[in-house]
Structure 1
Amino acid sequence: MTRNDPSPGPLTDPRGEPIAAKTIADQTYHQLRWDIVSGALAPGTKLAMDMLTKRYGVGMSPLREALVRLTGDALVHAEGQRGFWVTHVSIDELEDTMKTRTLIESEALARSIELGDEAWAERVRESYAALSAFEAQLDTGGDQVFAQWEHANRLFHEALVSACGSPWLIRMRRMLHQHSERYRLISLSHITPERDVHDEHEAIKDAALGRKALKATRLIELHLDRTTDAVRMALESRQRELDSAPTKRTSHRR
């Protein structure tokens, strides 16, 4: 399934309701973050300030604020006085990210199952229903539906852990989700779908709402392991293509 830089659409709150960015820097941060996560700004890209001011139509001050925030997210890195770059991707970093996300998300889910009230259960049901609606349209809906599915998928995973009682677990899980999302989106053109992700989500939802913590956390582990395997294979395929691409030779006239 190949996607071409799907737009994330308007900014939304945790329930998916549209919100306005508080400042120009907030809006720039969200736009720049999406362009990095989606691969529109490729790993290793030099983030030249003049290029970015034209791309986003903003001044230097909000742009620098957005870049500093993205550095904190580990999506951008700074090199002294030389400027900012989009963080590179690698298979080792993918596997480290996904293993850490699995640990954090499993713990947060187990706590939510123990502590979650009916309002939590309703959030899980509603977010799953929204996700399922987009999953049914994925094969024929195009890039906009895919972008909406990405958003719904993020909200479903957030709903599952939302009752864990630990703001730090929620923050760390969200950051790790953001990085795993980046790997998936960068690798999409090399992935051949061989999974029924809808069934995986349904099984996780049923176990969580059934208060079966051990089963739910095991299903989350399997779900994230399968994602890791698919993205790893995609990155390997991408690297093979780069390695086999003809190298440009410089001719020297004497």
Structure 2
Amino acid sequence: MSSPTLTDKVAKQICQDILSGELKPNQKLVVSDLKEKYDVGASPIREALIQLSWIKYVKLEPQKGCWVAPISKLELYDLYESLKIVSSVLLEKSIREGSESWELEILTEYHKLSRFKFQGDNFNWQDWEERQEAFYTSLLKGCFSKNMLQFFDDIIRQIKRYRSISLSYSPMNFEQMFQIEQHEKIMKLTLDKDYEGAKQQLESYLTSMMKEIEPTVDNIEMA
């Protein structure tokens, strides 16, 4: 058995290539090809693929092989519907139960997001995505709801794959993300404890994000 450190390293490399679009949805993953690509043995490759199947980035079929997980508009809709429901519940619970330290974390993550510098062709999508995810995660983690937060993390992980693939195909479809005023409005409604307004604004934002991804999913499904 390979060392956990090597397996984790290979899993991260494959994961990044899936998110960047280098390894495309439905692409067959052949161990011999991956051995050459990542310059490691077969054992860490196989263990890494099993790890990635646990988070649904890879599809394994016994005796048949392994593929990058497919994407579909039906799954996209299901993921965002699930995200809207769990986010709405968590946001309201956080507003009702959140502490001062929770409010401070929101302000801190918003500040990091608002300070992001857009630099044309050198734009760092990954950095922006991480800051944006950290901000929205901070909004929802002011309450104690372990199971729902785990469910939220799982949905976000799946949506991240859709967003990353879409960004790799057509980054300028995501102009909506750059409107910092939207993020600020959600933050203010949350800190003002206007949970109905905050939930409505968050749902509107999530809907706009889903619509940004739809064209890429259409193109991949029709290819």
Tell me which residue corresponds to 1:24: 6
Residue 103 to residue 26, structure 1, CA distance change in 2 (3 Å)? same
Q: Where do 4+ consecutive residues of structure 1 move more than 4 Å?
A: 237-240
Distance 1:151 1:100 in 2: 21
1:48-97 superposed Cα distances (whole Å, 9 cap, x missing partner): 11222233333333333322222121111111122211111111111111
Q: 1:153 aligns with which of 116, 132, 139?
A: 132
TM-score, with length taken from structure 1: 0.77
1:225-248 superposed Cα distances (whole Å, 9 cap, x missing partner): 0111121134335666x4xxxxxx
Tell me which residue corresponds to 1:223: 205
Q: 2:22 aligns with which of 18, 28, 40?
A: 40
Tell me which residue corresponds to 1:15: none
Task: Give the 3-state SS of the residue equivalent to 2:25 in structure 1.
Answer: coil
Task: Give the 3-state SS of the residue equivalent to 1:192 in structure 2.
Answer: helix
What is the CA RMSD across the aligned residues, in angstroms? 2.2
- Determine whether 1:98 maps to 2:80: yes
Distance 1:33 1:172 in 2: 20
- Determine whether 1:173 maps to 2:155: no
Give unmatched runs, 5+ long, in structure 2.
Answer: none
What pairs with 1:102-251 in structure 2 (closer than 5 Å)?
A: 102-134=84-116, 137-140=117-120, 142-143=122-123, 145-188=124-167, 189-190=169-170, 191-193=172-174, 195=176, 197-236=179-218, 242=223
Distance 2:122 2:113 in 1: 16
The percent of aligned pairs where both chains have the same amino acid is 29
> Quick check: 2:72–2:221 contact (8 Å CA) kept in 1?
no
Task: Give the 3-state SS of the residue equivalent to 1:81 in structure 2.
Answer: coil
More helix by share: 2
Task: Give the 3-state SS of the residue equivalent to 2:115 in structure 1.
Answer: helix
Quote how far apart the aligned CAs of 1:113 are.
1.6
TM-score, with length taken from structure 2: 0.87
